[in-house]
Every structure is written in structure tokens, then in C-alpha cells.
Amino acid sequence: MKRRAFVSGAAASAVALPLLGGCAATPSIQPADPVGSGDLGLVVERASGSLAVVNTSRPAVLGRIEGLGDLSHASIVYARDGARGFVFGRDGALTRVNLLTRRIEARVQQAGNSIGGAISQDGTLVAAQNYQPGGVKVFDARTLALVADIPALDAQGKRSRVVGLADLPGRRFIYSLFDADAICIADLSDPQSPRVTRLDGIGRQPYDALLTPDGRHYIAGLFGEDGLALVDLWAERPQVQRVLGGYGRGQQPLPVYKMPHLRGWAVAGREAWLPAIGHHEVLVADTTSWAEVGRVAVAGQPVFVMAQPDGRRVWVNFALPDYHKVQVIDVPTRRVVHGFEPGRAVLHLEFTPRGEAVWISARDDNRVLVVDTASWRTLATLDVRSPSGIFFTARAARVGL
């Protein structure tokens, strides 16, 4: 009989081992263990238009995927198998990449300026939200063929920028219109005939949005006024409810150097933790009543406010001039319990799937730090070129990411 040793990668082949006394001889060089897609992630290298393919269990850069254009505000969603990612570039390109072969599989120039997108619940449709020319374009995930072009218009018929796009159950997508003060729900059960439900008058200039982990509530932050717009998607007829209105009343808002981001793990237990735009505060809301239940003063204007997977702590990074800092808030006490400076221009944080570590990008230091979430100890420092967004394949199993 023969035994086979397996090596990972496209060049993997079977190697016959000689038998000694009925047992296979130990090879002088042990082959590398195969890496499953669940161990992988992508880090955006924004200055070079490339992606670093990383191993999240044993922190390392495995290789790079080059030639993705302008990634200055890139985001990524994953196919259900976690082996393929869909990259939305700032230059309007949509690119499907294979993390196992580290190659571009397909690429379309679908708009002039795009800042994100989503993949449908069944993994068959990919939707891109566009700044220029506005609107939402929906593509076949397998071929990247265009299947729907949904316009986004204000009351005067002018195009609106689209933000806050997220997937919903049943081949639906939800998104906000920055220039039209509206939220739209697009049902693509029949991609050739999308049905769009529009909710107007939600508040001025929705700039980003999040979907709660159970897929029930969609929350859009408002740039043009204090407060947020909330939609209960379990309602028979979804309506918009204004929450956290007037949180900055009586205060002078500061100049906003970077828009906060709501996309991420912002829910811890029964509470939502949200950035207060133009203020050095994190807002806390009860997810049953959506009433404000607390505020936490922080070191600067929050950009990402992200809860660990277990919900025990919330991590915050900041806009200029404090974007070299990260603070950690204890959820039960609502107190800042740790602060440190991982590097210059901290742009993104991503937790490992079970939360034992957090990866932090420091763009201007060309590095990604891997930090133990229990001890605050740095576990690894990886050389990555101008890193920004970090996206692990565990996102493939999460709604709204």
C-alpha cells in the first residue's frame, strides 16, 4: 500500500513514501498543513492597489493579490464558501478574488465612484452602492454580469449618492440615499424586476448604516442633524423611527475630520454602542426601547466603535488628530479600562471570529498589529503596505457585513 502526503496550494501533488518494515518512512521535510478558507482574511493595501492574504489563526501574510486599482475606501464581502471575496474599489471597479489561488477571477468597471456593497443571503447576487453616478447595481455573483440597475433619485429627479447598503433575508437589500434623505428596501426575488420600497423624510443626510446581528433593525446615522434613523424590519409595514435625537443639544459640534463608520460589531448584549458625530463621546442605546441609556467620554471623535464577539468590551479608534489612539470600554461599567497607541493612522479593527485577538491596521507605519484582547499583549506585528480595511472570511456567515 501507499500513503500520501498532502501539500497546500495549486501545485499540490501526491508523494509516495517508501515502506520500512510495514510502516511508512518519515520524510525528511514535513509538508505544510493545508489552510482552509476559514483561516484566511484580506487586508487592503490602499496605496498599492493590492490585498494581503493573511492567516488569522497563526498570524502571517501568506501572499498578495495585485492590480485592484484605487482601494482608498475599499470594502470586501465574501462568498458563502469563504474562498472568494468581492472587492468594491473607490474607482468603481468590482473585483472577485480567490484567496486560495491568490488571483483575480473577474473584474468589471461598474461605476465612477463606489464605496461598498453587499452579497445576498443565498450568495447569488452582489450589489454595489455608488456615489457616481449614484444608484445600486446588482450582479450575478458567478459571472459578474449585470442583472439590475436601480436608480437613486431625490425629489427633483437628481441622482443621489448611496450609502449604508446591507443584505437582508430573502434576496433583499437595504440602503440609504445621502442626498435624498431616504431609506430604500429593494426586493430582488426576481432580479429582472426589482421591487423597491422607499421611506422618505428620515432625517438629513444619512451617511452610513448598520444592521443588527439578528437582521431586525437597520440604523442610519445622520450627518445633517443629531440623531439616527431606525427601521424595524420585522414590522408588517416598516416605518422610520427617530432615535437619539438631540444628543449634542447645547454643545458646539467640532469640525468632522473623518466620517464615523457604523458598519461593524456595534451591538453588545442588549445595547448598541454608537459614535457621536462631531463629539468626543460614544452613545449607548437600549436595543429594546432604543432610548439613550448612557454616554462614555473618549479621547477623540470616534470612527469605529466595535464590540468584541462576546460583547464584554467595546474598542474605539478615532479621527484626526487622535488617530494614533485606541481605547477599550468595559461594557458593564461603561468605563474606559485601557488605552494605547498602536501606530500612526489607525484605520480599522477586526476581531478574530471568537474574539481572542484583534487585528489593528496602522497605515502610516505600514504594519498590522495582532493584540490579545484579554491581556492587551501584542502577539504579532505584520509588515503590510499602507494597510486600511481588514476583512476576515468569518464575515461570510454574518448578516449585514
The CA distance from 139 to 124, in Å, is: 9
State whether the Cα torsion 191-197-202-204 is positive or negative: positive
88-102, 189-203, 244-258, 376-390: least confidently modelled range: 244-258
Strands 93-98 and 84-88: antiparallel
Q: Where do the domains of the chain lie?
A: 1-34
Backbone angles phi, psi at 365, to 5 degrees: -105, 0
Residue positions counted in the chain: 401
pLDDT surpasses 50 at 15:
no
The single-letter code of the amino acid at 314 is V
pLDDT surpasses 80 at 25:
no
Copy the grid coordinates of residue 248. Answer: 449634542
Neighbour-count burial for 310-322, b at 16+ CB within 10 Å, e otherwise: ebebbbbbbbeeb
Neighbour-count burial for 25-47, b at 16+ CB within 10 Å, e otherwise: eeeeeeeeeebebbbbbbbbbbe
**For residue range 260-287, what is the model confidence (pLDDT) as tens digits?**
778 777 899 899 999 988 899 999 999 9
Strand ranges (DSSP E) for 201-334?
A: 206-211, 217-222, 228-232, 240-243, 267-268, 271-275, 281-286, 292-297, 302-307, 313-318, 326-330
Confidence of residue 60 (pLDDT cuts 50, 70, 90): very high
pLDDT surpasses 60 at 11:
no
Measuring CA to CA, how many Å separate 217 from each of 173, 237, 287, 290?
13, 13, 9, 10
Q: Are 43 and 16 in contact (CB under 8 A)?
A: no
Q: Widest CA span of the chain, in angstroms? A: 85
Confidence of residue 292 (pLDDT cuts 50, 70, 90): very high
Measuring CA to CA, how many Å separate 223 from each of 167, 215, 226, 273, 373?
23, 23, 7, 17, 32
What pLDDT is recorded for position 163?
A: 96
Q: Give the global pTM.
A: 0.89
- The share of the chain scoring above pLDDT 70, in percent, equals 89
What pLDDT is recorded for position 250?
A: 52
The CA distance from 180 to 266, in Å, is: 26
Mean model confidence pLDDT for the chain: 89
What stretch of H or E contains 5?
strand 4-5
Number of H helices, E strands in the chain: 0, 36
- Determine the average pLDDT of the residues in 121-146: 97
84-88, 229-233, 241-245: least confidently modelled range: 241-245
**For residue range 336-378, what is the model confidence (pLDDT) as tens digits?**
999 999 999 999 999 999 999 999 999 999 999 999 999 999 9
The CA distance from 220 to 225, in Å, is: 12
57-71, 125-139, 204-218, 245-259: least confidently modelled range: 245-259
- Determine the average pLDDT of the residues in 115-132: 96
